Amino acid sequence: MSLALHSTFTGVLASIPSPPVSYIDLGPLRIHFYALCIIAGIIAAVLLTNHRLTRRGAEPWVVIDISILAVPIAIIGARIFHVLTHPNFYFGEGKNTWNPFEPGSVWAIWEGGIAIFGALIGGAVGAYLGCRWTGIRFWTFADALAPGLLLAQAMGRFGNWFNKELYGLPTDLPWGLEIPSDNSAFPPGLPEGTLFHPTFLYEVLWNGLGVIVLLWLSRKATSLQWGRLFAIYLIWYSAGRVVWESIRIDPSEIILGLRSNVWAAIVGIVVGLAILVVQSLRHPGLEPSAYQPGRGRKDLDADVESQDNPSDYVDVSEPPSEEVAAGASATSTAPTDTEGTR
């Protein structure tokens, strides 16, 4: 008995097990944990972004209006990018390309197969349209979204764990990931019990650290506006992705010796640096408002519209105690009605 407990305890410490199930059935409805992880990430990103946008003076929950366009277009972009970078999965003789009622079609997003870089492209298009609709500055929204985006990506990566996919090279490290040998993605020729780098966990930790860094920077470096915080997000995420992608062993298109997503990550770093430089030169100061010129809050308590005037900036934080005391003192010494007006 004690030997069995010891073996079990040692086994837990020596590796990371894969989940025994990846979905649950509720009557005729099959719910994949992969989808639940993505949905949970989206909700977390919306909540955090709403908090950050509201602090910038935006109308509460305007992020919902933007998300109505951004989220669906992001998912479509993520799927298209995955299909285009994995053509052998979906096109060719014997492949079920278009029939949505059979496994393996381009429509079967519930089977996995979305690309974060495609989501960024599609999401940027959707967010731009949503910002035009609501009047929020695009770069204000992007900066507010950046930490939440990393948080959503960290949570979404657990979906790969449930799907037993996108793991790395074999390893004998104590945190190696267990993959059943009967898994369709298990590399042929390797013995049963081989452990693999848990690249999903590496990215979860990297993205989680990135959330902390971005939140800290947004508080300490208030000049990181006009898309500069989003640029740092792009650089941070893409730099980590270059590393994790390089040790993954799932099939991928190879371009000039590098996986397609490594090239996408390199492009992400370049774009992030370009945004950082260009926006620093074009907009050295602070954003005057969370809203575009001529647009403003639509809720009943708002009467300020942006005219690109720094004085229009809405600060919803509490005033310093010194200002409160000074205001109270001025009120107590103000002339009464009996003294008349000048």
In single-letter form, the type of residue at position 341 comes to: T
pLDDT at 333 over 80: no
Which H or E element spans position 32? strand 29-32
pLDDT confidence tier of residue 336, bands split at 50, 70 and 90: very low
HSE on the CB side for 338, CA within 13 Å? 0
297 is in an annotated binding site: no
**Closest CA relative to residue 229, chosen from 295, 149, 288, 297:** 149
**pLDDT at position 325, please?**
53
pLDDT at 159 over 80: yes
In single-letter form, the type of residue at position 188 comes to: P
pLDDT at 88 over 90: no
**pLDDT at position 94, please?**
78
pTM reported for the whole predicted model: 0.81
Q: Render pLDDT for 95-114 as a digit per residue (tens, 0 to 9).
A: 888 888 788 888 888 777 88
